Structure 1
Amino acid sequence: MFLSYVFQDWDANKQNLKGRLVMVLFRLGRPASINKFFRIIWLPYLAFYKILVEWFMGIELPHWTTVGKGFFLGHGQALVVNGCAVIGENCFFRHSTTIGNIRREDGSYTGSPVIGNNVELGSNVCIIGEVRIGNNVRIGAGSVVVKDIPDNCIAVGNPARVIKQLAPVDPAPAMAPEMLTQA
Structure 2
Amino acid sequence: MSYLFQDWEANRGNIKGRMVMLLFRLARPASKSKLLRLIWLPYLAFYKVFVEWFLCIELPHWTQVGEGFYLGHGQALVINGCSVIGKNCFIRHSTTLGNIRYEDGSYSGSPVIGDNVEIGSNVCIIGEIRVGNNVKIGAGSVVVKDIPDNSIAVGNPARVIKTLTPAKQDLQAELEC
* TM interval, short-chain normalised: over 0.9
Partner of 1:143: 141
Give matches, 1:96-175, under 5 Å: 96-168=94-166
SS of the residue 1:51 aligns to: helix
Aligned partners of 1:141, 1:5: CA distance in 2, in Å? Answer: 31
Q: CA RMSD in A?
A: 1.0
Cα deviation per residue 1:121-179 (whole Å; 9 max; x = unaligned)? 0000000000100000000000000000000000000000000001127xxxxxxxxxx
Aligned partners of 1:24, 1:74: CA distance in 2, in Å? Answer: 15
Aligned partners of 1:37, 1:43: CA distance in 2, in Å? Answer: 10
Partner of 1:81: 79
Q: Is 1:4 paired with 2:2? A: yes
Which is greater in Rg? Answer: 1
The alignment covers a number of residue pairs equal to 168
2:32 pairs, out of 34, 50, 64, with 34
- Structure 2, unaligned runs of 5 or more: 168-177
Partner of 2:61: 63
Aligned partners of 1:50, 1:162: CA distance in 2, in Å? Answer: 36
Give matches, 1:8-27, under 5 Å: 8-27=6-25
Cα deviation per residue 1:27-49 (whole Å; 9 max; x = unaligned)? 00000001111100000000000
Aligned partners of 2:102, 2:166: CA distance in 1, in Å? Answer: 36
SS of the residue 2:128 aligns to: coil
Q: 1:101 Cα deviation (Å)? A: 0.2
Aligned partners of 1:165, 1:34: CA distance in 2, in Å? Answer: 38
Q: Structure 2: which amino acid aligns with 1:93? A: I
Q: 1:120 Cα deviation (Å)? A: 0.2
Aligned partners of 2:143, 2:166: CA distance in 1, in Å? Answer: 22
SS of the residue 1:9 aligns to: coil
Aligned partners of 1:94, 1:101: CA distance in 2, in Å? Answer: 19
Q: 1:117 Cα deviation (Å)? A: 0.1
Aligned partners of 2:68, 2:105: CA distance in 1, in Å? Answer: 35
SS of the residue 1:163 aligns to: strand
